[in-house]
Structure formats: structure tokens, C-alpha cells
Amino acid sequence: MNEDSTLESSTESARPAPGWERELLEKLLLEALVEQRKARRWNLIFRAFLVAVIGLTFLLTLKPLSQDGLSGAGEAHTAVVDVIGTIVEGGEIDADTIIEGLREAAEAKGVKGIVLRMNTPGGSPVQSAYVYDEIRRIKKEHPALPVYAVVSDLCASGGYYIASATDKIFVNPASIIGSIGVIMNGFGFVGTLEKLGVERRVMTAGDHKAILDPFGPVDPAEKRHVQQLLNGIHQQFITAVKTGRGDRLKDEPELFSGLVWTGAEGIELGLADDVGELHQVAETVIGAKKIVNYSHRETWLDRLSQQLGASLGTALRNLSMSSPRLY
């Protein structure tokens, strides 16, 4: 009898208390409400972040063309176009951005002269040639509009290619200018592969399709061919400088050897014309103290979209063999 009552008592105690369904439902609803509030909070944070990113992108896209802005551009002023950084398509600066600034400056009202503010180690010979040709076109269409180059720290190779098209080149005595030459470099991993026991396998259609393959020995015929290409580009560079500078160039055997000189030496050699900085040239040479910057620059969003379009294969190839460049 005692055992039966004990069993009945334990069974009754194991049963859920009346109304347990409601308590469980309330608990589940409360937890769902808490989770919903958390999700809503994160959703609001995400939306705020997204709005901030879109707003920042919009501001960067609509950023004034330069730090000086274009306010009051109708007044008499000196137009400035920056050539600062490595000159390469899709890079810091390229022909498109420089030419766009030059064209706007040439057509703007009140412009008394254009100054290319230069601080560049050079870059692509093609991009430099585009800008060189555009400067000469502007000078031909606007013969009364002077175009000058003002060098700060550096104006070498492709940068000097561009500067040689201007009417005058102003430098600081300590500026570095020149480097009239062409370079194409890379690496060779033949010995490395042999030490690692790696066999190189490459198939081509065309005897020289794998020209200057960094994983194979240098072919003398291919080396001669590439050297001819570099010599041809170098000669184009020399011709452009001679055309732009004319009789101002001194008869110096090393002038086109790729060497660089200080600004002071450059003046003596005819690579530059005088000492001067931007504001002094604007005020005393051009005669328009007011400076307006017409430089165009890509936004980070533009550059990101271009980079996303680049292939991994191209990037890997660039690690081993570069294109000809003027720096």
C-alpha cells in the first residue's frame, strides 16, 4: 500500500503544472521578440553603414577637381595641371587624366598660361607620348598661350619626355631631371627550377611566343629582337626631346645615356631653362598671380573597378617580365 501511494505521488509530481503551455509559449514569444529586436538593431546599423559608404562615395565622386577648385576661373589666372606620380595607364596618373586637365585649361576663360606641376619618376613611354603630342597640339591651336613645366623634386624619363614639349622648364637647383633612356627588366628562374627538381613545360604556336620566358634560358635571337625594340623606343624619346628643346640642348655625349642631373646642371646642359617655382612663375613669368588647378584624378571607386577587371594571369606575368618603361 505504501508503495502504491509513493508511485502515485511521484507520478503526480512528474506531471506539468497547470498552464505550463502558456508559460512555454510566453517564453518562446519573449525570446523571439528579443531576437527580433537584436536583428532590427543590426539591420539599422547595417543600413546606417551602407548610407555612410554611399554618401562618402558620392562625395569622393563629386570631389572638386583640385584643392584649389575652379571658383573664379573666369578671372585672369594661371592654370595648373599636376603630373605627380608614376605615369601608367590606370595608375596614379595617366594620359587620359592629364590630357583632360590640359584641354579644359586651354579652353577655359581667363587662362593666361598653363603650368605642368611635375614630380614624377616617369613611366609608360606610350602614355608620355600621348601627353607630349597633346601639349604640342594645344600650342599649335593656341599659339599665344604659354605652356610651362615647373619641376619640384623629380622629373625623370617619361616625366621629362612630357616636359620637353613645353615652352620652358623651370626647376629647383636641387631637382633631379633627365634619365633619357628606356628599361625593361625581369627575372630568370632556370637555376632555381633545376635545384628544386622542377621541370618546365610550355607549349606554343609560334617559335617566339614565349619570348623572354623567365623559366627558360635566354635565346640570343630573342634578346637581340627585344634590344632593337628598346633602341627604337629610345630613339623616339631622343627625337621628341630634340624637337622640343631644339638648340637649347648642349652637345653632351651622355645627355641621352639615361643619366640624371640636378636642376642646376640641367640648366647648363639645356635640359631646363631657369630656376623657378609655381607661384613665382605664375606671377612674374605668366603675369597671373591667381592659380586654378585643372587636374583630374580618378576616385578610389574608379580605380577599384579597374583593378577588379585585371586578370590574375596578367598580374603574375608582370612579376616576371615588365613592359618597356621610361624609368
Distance CA 100, CA 160 (A): 19
What tens digit of pLDDT does each residue of 133-156 get? 999 999 999 999 999 999 999 999
The yes-or-no verdict on residue 66 having pLDDT over 50 is no
Q: What DSSP string runs through 135-204?
A: HHHHHHH-TTS-EEEEEEEEEETHHHHHHTTSSEEEE-TT-EEE----B--B---HHHHHHHTPPP----
Task: Kindly report whether the global pTM for this prediction surpasses the value 0.75.
Answer: no
2-28 average pLDDT score: 60
- What three-state secondary structure class fits 114? strand
Which percentage of the chain shows pLDDT scores above 70? 73
What tens digit of pLDDT does each residue of 242-272 get? 999 999 999 999 999 999 999 999 999 999 9
What tens digit of pLDDT does each residue of 175-232 get? 999 999 998 888 888 888 778 888 878 888 988 888 888 888 888 888 899 899 999 9
Instruction: Look at residue 200 in the predicted model and tell me its pLDDT.
Output: 79
Distance CA 53, CA 61 (A): 12
Distance CA 151, CA 190 (A): 43
64 Cα distance to chain centroid: 18
3-state helix, strand, coil in the chain (%, to 5): 50, 15, 35
Domains of the chain by start residue, with CATH = 77-185+239-320 (3.90.226.10)
Question: For all residues of the chain together, what is the average pLDDT?
Answer: 82
Cell of 257: 645615356
Kindly state the helix (H) or strand (E) to which residue 115 belongs, with its residue range: strand 111-120
Beta bridge partners of 128: none
